[in-house]
Structure 1
Amino acid sequence: MAAKYEIIIYWSEEDNAYLAEVPELPGCMADGASYQQALQNAEVVIREWIETAQELGRHIPEARGKLMYA
């Protein structure tokens, strides 16, 4: 993955899966049965999000690194 976007991963009881959100890319989200699978799926979705934005001529936000604090 060329860009280093923050990925937030958490367990969702409602979805019975791990969810992976990418806050800097609106609507960019993935899921998985395991933490690792959610992370892998998020990496794929990030690439697809960027490819789609490029095809549509839309702005691609620069990765800013850590955005949230625990």
Structure 2
Amino acid sequence: MSKFKYQMLIQWSDEDNCFLVGFPDFPGQPFRTHGDTYESAVANGAEALESLIMAYEATGEALPKPTVLMVA
């Protein structure tokens, strides 16, 4: 299983005037990074996910099970 099969939620925030990026499968803060454009939010999200996985591995904490969409 790829370590990167996690949901990445990207949504616009009028309050912050940017796109916020979160990973619903990981507990904790709802948003972990952001971007001024959708494209930068995607790139920052990929970097944040990689760092998050590395942090889990460094502490020996088990990665959460990714949510998988089942389509018939």
Q: Deviations over 1:11-53 (max 9, x none)?
A: 1011111011110122362100001111110110101001011
Gaps of 5+ in 1: none
Task: Provide the alpha-carbon RMSD of the alignment.
Answer: 1.7
Give the aligned length: 66
State the 4+ residue runs in structure 1 displaced beyond 3 angstroms: none
Gaps of 5+ in 2: none
Higher CA-based Rg: 2
TM-score, normalised with respect to structure 2 = 0.78
Larger RCO (CA within 8 A; separation ≥ 6): 1
TM-score, normalised with respect to structure 1 = 0.80
Alignment of structure 1 residues 28-39 onto 2, 5 Å: 29-39=32-42
| Identity fraction in percent | 27
